[in-house]
Structure 1
Amino acid sequence: VAPNLGVLVAGRFVQAAGSGAMAACAMALTASVPPERRPQVFAGFGATMAIFSASATLAGGVFTEWVTWRIALVLPALSLLVVPLCLAGAPARKNSGRSMDLPGAALLTLTAMSFLVLIQSSALALSTPLVVATAAVLVLSAAGLTWRTRGSDSSFVPRALVADRVFLKAAVIGIGVYGGLFAAMYAVPQLLVRDHGWSVLSVGVWLLPGAVVGAVLSRLAGRLTAGDHGNRLLAAVSLAFAAALAAALAGSGVLLLILGASLGFSAFSVTQVFTTALMSGHIEPARRGGAMGLLNLTFFVGGGVGSATAGALAKSMSLATALGVVALFPLIAALVAFTLGRRTP
């Protein structure tokens, strides 16, 4: 019901905060299930993520074309309907007993926000003074966050977590996969609509097979996490995703574009399943929720970096070439996944 663009953007800020909290809570709840139920729960979690993410373009296109774009904006509110069902089955456990580090949370928020704004400064056409001010905020907030992290292990970003090699590798994998997916979802619809004359509805329909593939692979990943082969599946899917994006360097063929976006959804869902399973067995229960929240934040910042990179590169080269360059994101994720097995100490 926003009457103007200012109110609409302000509402999107609030909605983004809520969506981020929803995603973090979903990962934390999934990671908290008993070990004997994890493969089944992870499989369903990944399949749901794959289906909804891959069908989002079609749903948005249907509402925009047939009804109004305003309905498409409030689709995330549907997740509220499922919250009571999730809470009913959530395990009861004690938290760490420590109070929330609000200054640390504020510093982390400022660091992430200023970083994302700064890397998109060219696309946003920001003035030089504003860019300098944003850079200053980034440096100061990052320095403050580093100081708080080093000073205490009870900070919002725990020192032990930052030094945890498994957590850092999982973060790099998520950044690579999300960066590639966000870049693909920025570039692929534009290329199909602009260069090949497709409608938004056509793009959405052709992305649906990716939802099916992603659901199947995520269910497979949910079963494999009980052993030590989940990282191999993730690495293989990420490598295929990177190859499909890199093929755009030779031209933006329709099949390659659809394949690249579809593999991106598959890599996205498998990443969710594998990293959630990995952290659920690696992080102690009292710290698990916070760790999953930080991991989720890192993933989405990586996604923002991927889309911003594609947008910035498109100013000096073709959009298809920029998409091919961004293939480095999932390629790095694949290489790291090969080194991260279930038994990594």
Structure 2
Amino acid sequence: MSRPSSSSPAPSTAGRAGAAPPGRGIPAAWPALLAGPLSFGIAGPSLILPDAARDLGLALGAVTWIVTAFGWAVAIGTPLTAGLQNHQGARRALSACAALVALGAVLVAAVPSLPVLVLGSAAQGLGTAGFTTIAMSLARSARSLGLVTSSLATVGACAPLVADLVAEALSWRVALALPALSLLAVPAVLRHRPAEPAPAASFDSRGAVLLTALVTALVFVPHSWPVAGACVLAACGLLGLHVRARPDGFVPASVVRAPVFLLMSGLAFLLAAVNFGMIYLLPALLAGRAGWSGGAVGAAMLWPLLFGGLASYGVVAATAKAPVQAVAVLFPAVAAAGVALAAAGVPPVVLLAAQALTSLAAASGQGAFAARAAAAVPGGARATAMGQFNLCYLLGAAFGPAIAAALTV
């Protein structure tokens, strides 16, 4: 097993005109802490939404808008904050994201009203999406990038149980504010990151609006595909025309025309869809085939998810020098093996092994594919490219549960 060197491909904003080089010597733990708490917003509410519905006097379906708002905000916030970073520099983007996370945490923790909770959750989603993109762009090696993606997966594995414990000890509203733990990393990252002057080019507001429209339509495809699908086609056409007219705009032509970047982003989408679909499907399989209770299922699923998150750090580092073709085959094959086990396995241990494989494939693939996607685009477009890469992964996280739900009908 070869040890990756510090020159391994990793996302960077170096090369952008007028920008200072990325901060050197920042400990890898700080970008990981900056990114990891995003997963509290995705997975944390799963066990506490019934408490929220009871206290608010609403149906469970109504309070799920809290999670929907976070997911939508993360999806649109990822490319938007990447564009802000590329235009204004990491320091200003980091400060703006910190303000959003702090505001959102105050709203969800202090105001027991569904509209305010939805607004606060969306603000946290926007801010933590930016934190994650910035953290990945600060990674100086495949090993540090693997630590960032491993933190996302590990926090996601622990998030339901941690949020439930916080809700019992304090309140479910405080549990909804757990993404704010990412603020602990902001002072250290600001210390290590030099100020960057903004480039002279104007901000491509039309490109930002078109990409936001496309992402919003994509998020709704699993829920209302005829209308959303038509909107996706229209938004794709308009965005394509805009990219041709302004190739250096919010969606750089150098990114969408890079075959390796498109391949890595597409595979990241597929791995996320499989993994999050399995997370949704496995409780029903364990309950139906083994007769386990909900609490037993939650405790059992913690271990395969933790395995995937923790092991991914070493896997990303071990495959740092592998060619693109190798990682493009390896991680989808691991995910396919997990799906095959889930389809064929009845004993709970087999189903949990299937979850471990899909979790490992998604967490490792996110880190390995991100490094190669970043290396496939010019340096000046890498911050934007990381935002769009993460967007593809997060869209997979939205599609997976919807596909799994259709399979269980």
1:274 alignment partner in structure 2:
368
Instruction: Specify the code of the residue in structure 1 equivalent to 2:393.
Output: F
CA distance in 1 between partners of 2:323 and 2:267 (Å) = 16
Alignment pair present for 1:50 and 2:153: yes
1:159 equivalent in structure 2 = 253
Instruction: Give the Cα separation in 1 of the matches to 2:331 and 2:363.
Output: 10
Aligned equivalents of 1:218, 1:91: Cα separation in 2: 27
Q: 1:252 to 1:89 in 2, by over 3 A?
A: farther
Correspondence for 2:322: 228
Contact 1:247–1:256 under 8 Å retained in 2: yes
Which residue type is aligned with residue 89 of structure 1?
H
Gaps of 5+ in 2: 1-109
For the residues of structure 2 that align with 1:115 and 1:281, how far apart are their CA atoms? 26
The gaps in structure 1 that reach 5 residues or longer are 123-130, 316-345
Q: What is the TM-score with the length of structure 2 in the denominator?
A: 0.65
Match of 1:13 among 122, 127, 130: 122
- CA 210–229 in structure 1, closer or farther in 2 if over 3 Å, else same: farther
Q: How far is the alpha carbon of 1:202 from its aligned partner?
A: 5.2
How far apart are the structure 2 equivalents of 1:138 and 1:213? 33
Task: Give the equivalent residue in structure 2 for 1:207.
Answer: 302
**1:116 pairs with 2:198:** no
The one-letter amino acid of 2:185's match is V
Residues 277 and 401 of structure 2 are in contact (CA less than 8 Å); yes or no, is this contact kept in structure 1? yes
Deviation at 1:233, TM superposition (A): 5.7
Offset from partner CA, 1:172-220 (integer Å, 9 cap, x none): 1101111111212222234445663333475245423542454234223
- How far apart are 1:168 and its partner, in Å? 0.5
User: Partner residue of 1:218?
Assistant: 313
| 1:232-258 deviations in Å (ceiling 9; x for gaps) | 467434323222223333355422332
- 8 Å CA contact 2:283, 2:294 repeated in 1: no
Q: In the aligned structure 1, how far is the partner of 2:121 from the partner of 2:346?
A: 32
Say whether the 8 Å CA contact 1:171–1:295 is kept in structure 2.
Answer: yes
Correspondence 1:299-314 to 2 at 5 A: 299-314=393-408
Amino acid at match of 1:258: L
Cα separation, 1, equivalents of 2:239 and 2:178: 34
8 Å Cα contact 1:51-1:211 kept in structure 2: yes
- 2:185 corresponds, among 82, 88, 97, to 82
**Equivalent position SS for 2:221:** helix
Q: Is the 8 A contact 2:305 2:359 kept in 1?
A: yes
Task: Give the Cα separation in 1 of the matches to 2:296 and 2:194.
Answer: 41
Root mean square deviation of aligned Cα: 2.8
Displacement of 1:308 in angstroms is 1.8
For residues 165 and 346 of structure 2, the distance between their equivalents in structure 1, rounded to whole angstroms, comes to 25
Given the superposition, is the C-alpha separation of residues 192 and 91 from structure 1 closer, same or farther in structure 2, using an over 3 Å criterion?
farther
Q: How does 1:1-345 map to 2 (within 5 A)?
A: 1-30=110-139, 33=140, 38-64=141-167, 67-90=170-193, 97-121=200-224, 132=227, 134=228, 137-192=231-286, 196-200=291-295, 203-204=298-299, 206-225=301-320, 227-228=321-322, 232=326, 235-250=329-344, 253-315=347-409
Return 192-201 or 297-306, whichever deviates more.
192-201
Instruction: Tell me if the contact between 2:331 and 2:365 (Cα under 8 Å) persists in the aligned partners.
Output: no
Cα deviation, 1:8-47, whole Å, max 9, x if unaligned, reads: 22332222222322222222222xx2xxxx1442343343
Q: Which residue of 2 aligns with 1:318?
A: none
CA distance in 2, matches of 1:254, 1:64: 29
AA at the equivalent of 2:264: A
Distance 1:299 1:110 in 2: 18
Cα distance, 1:311 vs structure 2: 2.0
In 2: Cα distance, 1:115 partner to 1:156 partner = 18
